[in-house]
Structure 1
Amino acid sequence: MRTHVDLAQEQGYGYCMDMARTNKPVNTTIPPDLLASLDEWISTQPVPPTRSAVIVAALKDFLSRHGSPGKEAKTDATDES
C-alpha cells in the first residue's frame, strides 16, 4: 500500500521524514491579551513573521540587554553615572 509520503516523493515534492530539527521545541503558556497583541502586531507587518520568529527575536533582545550566562549585559550610556 502506498502512503502519502510515497506519493509525494514520486511527484518530486521532496517530502522527507528524516530531516533533523535544528531548534528545540519549548511549550509555554501566554496570557490571552499578550497573545492577541502579538498576533495584532504580526498582522501589521509587510511580511508577517511567525510567532516563533518574533518570540526568538524578543528573547535575543532581552538577553543582549540583560546578559546571558557567560556574557555581560549591554549598558546604555544613560545608565553610567
Structure 2
Amino acid sequence: MTWNRETVHKELLKVFGQHKQTEVDVSETSEIVADLGIDSLGVMEVLADIEDTFKLQIPDDALREINTIGDVATAILTRLERDGKLEA
C-alpha cells in the first residue's frame, strides 16, 4: 500500500485513540505518556499496531526521540519515504 501524509496522520490518530487511557482528544500535539496516559507496556502495544498497519519496523533507539503523536508521524513518514511507500 502507498501512503500520503494525510492518511498517515489519520491512521495514527485512530491507533492512538484506541490505546489512550484518558478522555482527552487525540491530536498531533498529544504527548503519548502525559496526555494519553499510555505507559511503557502500552507504548509497546501501540508500536506493534503501528508496525502492522504501516508494514514497517521501528528500531527501539528511534523511540528515545518520540514524545508526541507528531513525532511518531515524522518518524513513520521518513521511513515510508525512504522505502518508496509515500506519495507526494
Fold shared, TM-score > 0.5 on shorter chain: no
Name which structure has the greater RCO, CA cutoff 8 Å, separation 6+.
2
Q: Which has the larger radius of gyration?
A: 1
Q: TM-score, normalised by structure 1?
A: 0.29
